[in-house]
Amino acid sequence: MSQNLYDIPLTSIEGTALTLKQFEGKVLLVVNVASRCGLTPQYEGLEKLYQDKRTQGLEVLGFPANNFKEQEPGSDEEIRAFCSTSYDVTFPLFSKISVVGGDQHPLYSSLTNSQPAATGDGPFRERLKSYGIEPNTAPDVLWNFEKFLVSRDGRVVGRFSPDIVSDDPRLVAAIDAELGLAP
């Protein structure tokens, strides 16, 4: 049994020690983010999703990670400034962590072990190969902007490929189902 997600020690991007306990009872979309990635414009859609659904109980949580082609080299302060000035991000951001490898953060160990396969990762996996990048094997995170959906009771109920954007019908349907919104 993996560790309870709500008990894993984390640090906000401002440097405050915390856990996900403060988000208990909400639907969480946990995303590993990066500032210098071809997928970085997803920040805009993630912020829109957050604004559209946060009153219904959705929290988008961004975890900067520098695991893929060093596309998140900045300090927490630089990342926070970039997200604020470039994309007007208001959803919670956390201190930079590692999402794969020997120094993988316990949060990501728990997420990936709970949900080893991602919806829609085949095409993105092939795209990485076409760029000469050997993709990670499951259950490892494939790339920046992979998304994990966590239910109100802390269960990992979905995982979505990095190139599934915030308004993709598969993601929206899964979020709405967890929020209890009629289709």
Residue numbers of the domain that contains 123: 9-179
Residue 2 confidence (pLDDT): 47
User: What confidence tier does 34 reach under pLDDT thresholds 50, 70, 90?
Assistant: very high
Is the pLDDT assigned to residue 93 strictly greater than 60?
Answer: yes
- DSSP alpha helices (H): ranges in 88-150? 106-114, 121-130
Residue 56 confidence (pLDDT): 97
**Residue 4, in any domain of the structure:** no
**Residue 1, in any domain of the structure:** no
Number of domains in the chain: 1
Residue 183 confidence (pLDDT): 65
**Cα 62 from Cα 57, distance rounded (Å):** 16
Query: 73, 58, 74, 93: which is closest to 178 by C-alpha?
Result: 58
Catalytic residues: 37
Quote the pTM value.
0.96
Residue 157, helix vs strand vs coil: strand
What length is written for the chain?
A: 183
pLDDT digits (tens, 9 = 90+) for 42-89: 999 999 999 999 999 999 999 999 999 999 999 999 999 999 999 999
pLDDT digits (tens, 9 = 90+) for 114-148: 999 999 999 999 999 999 999 999 899 999 999 99
pLDDT digits (tens, 9 = 90+) for 154-179: 999 999 999 999 999 999 999 999 99
**Residue 146, in any domain of the structure:** yes
Average pLDDT over residues 11-22: 96
Residue 3 confidence (pLDDT): 60
Residue 1 confidence (pLDDT): 39
User: What confidence tier does 39 reach under pLDDT thresholds 50, 70, 90?
Assistant: very high
**Cα 94 from Cα 163, distance rounded (Å):** 21
Residue 88 confidence (pLDDT): 97
**Residue 123, in any domain of the structure:** yes
CATH number for the domain spanning 160: value is 3.40.30.10
**Residue 2, in any domain of the structure:** no
**Cα 157 from Cα 166, distance rounded (Å):** 16
Q: Say if CB 48 and CB 87 are below 8 A apart.
A: no
